[in-house]
Amino acid sequence: MDLKSDAPPGPGVRTAPRMDPRSAVNLVAQLLGAVDPLADELTDQIFEAERGYGDQEQTTHERVRTVVRDNLRTLLLALQENPVSLDAAREAGRLKAELGIPLPALLHAYRLGGRFIWDRLLAAATGEGRATELLYLASDIWQIIDDHSSAAAEAYRATVEDQTLRDTAARSAMLTTLLDGSTTSAPRAAEIVRVLRLEGGGPLVVVNAEPDQDDGLPAGTAAKLRTLGAASEWTRLSGAAVGLLRLPHERTMPAATDLLTSIATTRIGVSRPFRSPADATRAWREAQVATRCLPTGAHGAHAYGTAPIALLVASAPDAAADMARSVFAALEALPPPEQATLLDTLDTWFSAGGSTTKAAELLHCHRNTVLYRLNRIGELTGRHTTDAVGSAELYAALRAVRQGSATAG
């Protein structure tokens, strides 16, 4: 075997005579005595080998050098069979995560460290004519490197997870201040949108999904929206899942609404498109109103302003409730099943565009049955579907009932 190889032999190599433990301790002690210049040299090697550090500031170089020194010292002490401490390795993992250095670069640094220690020990042993005896330490070096790199990687992953949680919380807080009116400055609103990486491109829209057992929106909603070229950021407000979307074009609006409808588990409201981030608070109110434009218990997405009567009802729920109670007052005396049948028939007739024949098909009954029920409603309410004003009042009252503003009667 070439003792001048750049790397120590693999684990388990025991072909050479064992070195006197005292000699090994002395060799390691020599390196410990020179740990500061060795740390400088190893730090430079790490920076040269990894592009991930880029043009880091001097303070960053010094922080990395401190961690390298601590790890180098810990590794050498472990070779002297001192109690092993993984604190330096964990600190290395935390630092690399904070600096945004990729995990493979962290692990590569430990491999460089193992090779560095081996080369220095080999040079010292060669100077004493004991290079062959050093081979038995190779397995120990790589075992220690493996233990420390594993601890560093674990700390790295934990730090990244903490950073992600903190970042998510911070982004959510910024979005909340933008939507709930806490941000009153237009420049500050624009800055929040920039930080959330929602600047540029097409218009913004706000989405409001009322909660259910799954929080209102299924996992992966943001990823699905990205297939349309729409970026989004989400938070929770007043119990609802609320998102700010940046659409690539205003013409993307129908596709985005359709996509939300396809994945909806509750009622979802979508605001009108807007350009100024300062209008986000108004847009959230629109999205809330749009949510209430859908019938209670429905699941789907509704864009603000696409159903004028539903919008009026949702915008003034108290007045809508009074109107519905007035229009359907006579239905209160009917048994609940009969109330439901009459309202379902009326709803289906409106959905069928006023076609009695089509309504009968949808209800799986005879056309005359539909006519009878509509006439019954006219007799009870004094408003007939054959009269334009009466029909409009019936429709508005029905929307109030369906949207949850009131009950019939």
pLDDT number for residue 5: 43
pLDDT number for residue 169: 86
Predicted confidence band of residue 4 (pLDDT cuts 50, 70, 90)? very low
Q: How far apart are CA 401 and CA 324, in angstroms?
A: 7
pLDDT of residue 109 exceeding 60, the answer is yes
Predicted confidence band of residue 211 (pLDDT cuts 50, 70, 90)? confident
How far from the centroid of its chain's Cα atoms is residue 358's Cα? Answer: 45
Predicted confidence band of residue 246 (pLDDT cuts 50, 70, 90)? very high
Q: How far apart are CA 221 and CA 243, in angstroms?
A: 10
Judge whether 287 and 270 are in contact, CB under 8 Å.
yes
Tell me the mean pLDDT in the region 363-392. 95
Per DSSP, the three-state class of 208 is strand
Tell me the mean pLDDT in the region 21-28. 69
The fold for domain 317-402 equals Arc Repressor Mutant, subunit A (1.10.10)
pLDDT number for residue 122: 85
Token pair in block for residue 158: 């934990």
Token pair in block for residue 374: 């509509």
Q: How far apart are CA 34 and CA 29, in angstroms?
A: 9
* φ, ψ dihedrals at 148, nearest 5°: -70, -40
Judge whether 367 and 357 are in contact, CB under 8 Å.
yes
Question: Which of 43, 47, 21, 167 lies closest to 113, judged by CA?
Answer: 43
Please state, rounded to an integer, the average pLDDT across all residues of the chain.
87
pLDDT number for residue 3: 35
Predicted confidence band of residue 20 (pLDDT cuts 50, 70, 90)? low
pLDDT of residue 24 exceeding 90, the answer is no
Lowest mean pLDDT among 12-16, 135-139, 244-248, 313-317: 12-16
Question: Which of 396, 144, 375, 176 lies closest to 293, judged by CA?
Answer: 396
pLDDT number for residue 216: 59
Q: How far apart are CA 244 and CA 280, in angstroms?
A: 8
Predicted confidence band of residue 338 (pLDDT cuts 50, 70, 90)? very high
Residue 275 DSSP class: S
More confident residue, 133 or 13: 133
Question: Which of 264, 321, 315 lies closest to 290, judged by CA?
Answer: 315
Q: How far apart are CA 280 and CA 204, in angstroms?
A: 8
Token pair in block for residue 179: 């939507």
pLDDT number for residue 58: 63
pLDDT number for residue 404: 84
Residues 21-163, CATH architecture: Orthogonal Bundle (1.10)
Domain 187-306: CATH superfamily, name plus number = Reverse transcriptase/Diguanylate cyclase domain (3.30.70.270)
Which residue shows structure tokens 């420049």?
187
DSSP bridge partners of 269: 208, 302
Per DSSP, the three-state class of 205 is strand
Q: How far apart are CA 214 and CA 217, in angstroms?
A: 7
Judge whether 303 and 257 are in contact, CB under 8 Å.
yes
Tell me the mean pLDDT in the region 138-145. 86
Judge whether 84 and 144 are in contact, CB under 8 Å.
yes
Strand 300-303, strand 231-237: pairing: unpaired
pLDDT of residue 87 exceeding 70, the answer is yes
Q: Is the pTM of this model over 0.75?
A: no
How far from each other are the two terminal CA atoms of the chain, in whole angstroms? 96
pLDDT in tens, 302-317: 999 999 999 999 999 9
pLDDT number for residue 394: 96
Domain ranges for the chain: 21-163, 187-306, 317-402
pLDDT number for residue 15: 43
pLDDT of residue 48 exceeding 90, the answer is no
Token pair in block for residue 242: 């609320």
Judge whether 106 and 96 are in contact, CB under 8 Å.
yes
pLDDT number for residue 200: 84
pLDDT number for residue 310: 93
Tell me the mean pLDDT in the region 239-262. 95
What one-letter code names the amino acid at 81? E
Helix (H) or strand (E) holding 231: strand 231-237
Lowest mean pLDDT among 215-229, 322-336, 337-351: 215-229
Q: How far apart are CA 183 and CA 157, in angstroms?
A: 35
Q: How far apart are CA 35 and CA 37, in angstroms?
A: 6
Tell me the mean pLDDT in the region 379-405. 93
